[in-house]
Structure 1
Amino acid sequence: MIRVLIADDQAIVRAAIANLLATQEEIEVVGEAEDGAEAVRLADELRPDVALLDIRMPGLNGIEAARTILSRPGTATKALMLTTFDLDAYVYDALAAGASGFLLKDATFPELLHAVRVVAAGNALLAPEVTKRLIGEFVRQRPPTSRPHRGTGEPTARETEDASLTSRETEVLTLIARGFSNADIAHRLTISNHTVKTHINRIFTKLRLSDRAQAVIRAYEMGLVEPPP
């Protein structure tokens, strides 16, 4: 059973999502919140598998709520953000806070179900037409990541991590950031799916990443891909 918490300041939106999810036997809506503060309280109390959080809410917004919920020791809750394409400056921060992906407010019912199931399974929802565009938009506006060297001239720990990737791992990371699935990467590089998974596991370990969302962010920060025009 997938236990879902819905947080949106619009009662109609909350009710619509709750009613749709309630039609599925394996999904249970365990709580509804009208703002971020209530979402945090209910998440602590109910421990849902997925917290579906609107980014724009009064008081404590969805990103701040996600950051608080996901920082709880031992939490298994995953955050799925509700957004629209006119949101830009919040996207990078939501992923940096640990959100597993984004769902457009005008998403279809199948897209809603798919998003909840993907995130509940511990995967990142990185549809190229949604998350890649949003991340790219904000990275273009965000000042370049500063990576100063220590006084001795030695590289920082983060630079060392980035440099530790092999050429093939760098290639795989680049393709992840461009929205390619494991199968697409395997086909493009003429390698097996198992080999792709091995490369990804090594990338995540070397760069201390937890999911593909963080991998996309790091690829942009490393300059492996450019924001879309």
Structure 2
Amino acid sequence: MKTKLLYLLLLLPLTIFAQQRELLNGRVISDTMKVEYVSIKNLSSSASVVSDADGKFRINTRVGDTLRVSGISFSDAVVKVTNENFKEGLIVIRLVGNITMLDEVVVSGLTGNLAYDSKHARIVETPAEKFDVHQINKDLYIKSVAGNGRGMDFLAIGRMVSGPPKRVTPPKQVFITDKVFAVAVRELYSDKYFVESLKIRKEDITLFLAYCDEGESVRYLLNPNNEFQLISYLSTKSEQYLKTKQ
């Protein structure tokens, strides 16, 4: 009996040690586009991290844990951590980009002869006065000369429409919407992101964003420079929200 007890006491530290999680380096890659600021969650421990601009990350894990990688432009990937990953000191996860299929486009009035069509195609010019720069910028505080960080430079649009402005030295600022947090985030991301990446039902998106809206304390996340923090915040809040629905 004493021998068995001693044997169990000797095995206990080894069992505890085997259950401990360690930091594992990781890299997220894609064959079609650059991977940056995606969310990596350990489904076995609920730990979450966000990759850097090169897709690199570090996460506490152990052999057998399951990792889920989510990104706005990618399909979710779920992988299991293996002994080989710890031997190599690295886990590489490959993502597949989401492909948006357009509806059928019917083009009429062309002959199929590229030389002829290029010369005779009709181009309709739109008068510049139809564009209202103030209307375009009505929901934005212009606090940057670099654009809003999401693909459109409203100052450049203004220069094209109304000509170059007077030579002034603008302050280094950023675009910040004056809309409330929940409304701004709802307009920023598609239903597909909430449903597929965050697992929020389409009919619950509005309630979920109201749950996430903590007033002024989270408005800094609307700064385009903090978008990867916003994604991480939404991922964490979605886990908490889904627990309240159980």
TM-score norm. by structure 1 comes to 0.24
Structure with bigger helix share is 1
Higher gyration radius (CA) = 2
